[in-house]
Homo-oligomer: A and B are copies of this chain.
Amino acid sequence: MRFAKNEIPKSTINRIAKYYAILLQLRSEDKIICTSEDLGRRMSVPSSLVRKDLGNFGEFGTKGVGYRVHYMIWRIEQILGYRAAWNAVIIGSCMPALTLLTASSIFPPGIHIAAVCDLEKDNPGVPVGGGSELATESFANINAIVQQRNIIMGIMAVEQSKSQQVANKLVEAGVTGIANLSSIPVLVPKHILLVEVNIASWLSQITYSLNGIIKNDFLAGKPYIESFS
Q: How far is the CA of A218 from the CA of B83 in the complex (A)?
A: 7
* A21 and B200 contacting across the interface, CB-CB below 8 Å: yes
Q: Which one of A6-14, A116-124, A134-142 contacts B?
A: A6-14
Residues of chain B within 8 A of A212, CB atoms compared: 4-6
Q: What's the nearest-Cβ distance from chain B to residue A149, in Å? A: 14
The answer to whether A185 has its CB under 8 Å from any CB of chain B is yes
* B108 and A209 contacting across the interface, CB-CB below 8 Å: no
A133-174 at interface with B (beta carbon < 8 Å): 152-153, 155, 160-161
* B80 and A4 contacting across the interface, CB-CB below 8 Å: no
Q: How far is the CA of A157 from the CA of B7 in the complex (A)?
A: 32
Q: How far is the CA of A32 from the CA of B229 in the complex (A)?
A: 10
Q: How far is the CA of A189 from the CA of B1 in the complex (A)?
A: 35
| Given A80-B204, A84-B216, CB of A106 within 8 Å of CB of B211 | no
* A13 and B205 contacting across the interface, CB-CB below 8 Å: yes
Residues of chain B within 8 A of A37, CB atoms compared: none
Q: How far is the CA of A191 from the CA of B43 in the complex (A)?
A: 16
The answer to whether A49 has its CB under 8 Å from any CB of chain B is no
Chain A 80-118 against B: per-residue CB contact (8 Å), 1 yes, 0 no?
111111100000000011011000111110110000000
The answer to whether A79 has its CB under 8 Å from any CB of chain B is yes
Q: How many copies does the complex hold?
A: 2
A84 partner, pick from B68, B83, B96, B219, beta carbons under 8 A? B219
Residues of chain B within 8 A of A206, CB atoms compared: 86, 153, 177, 179, 193, 195
Chain A 182-217 against B: per-residue CB contact (8 Å), 1 yes, 0 no?
011101000001011111111111111111111011
Q: What's the nearest-Cβ distance from chain B to residue A75, in Å? A: 9
| Given A111-B203, A219-B83, CB of A21 within 8 Å of CB of B187 | no
* A18 and B226 contacting across the interface, CB-CB below 8 Å: no
Residues of chain B within 8 A of A32, CB atoms compared: 228
Interface positions of A (Cβ within 8 A of B): 1, 3-6, 8, 10, 13-18, 21-22, 24-25, 28, 32, 41-44, 68, 70-71, 73-74, 77-86, 96-97, 99-100, 104-108, 110-111, 152-153, 155, 160-161, 176-177, 179, 181, 183-185, 187, 193, 195-214, 216-220, 223-224, 226-228
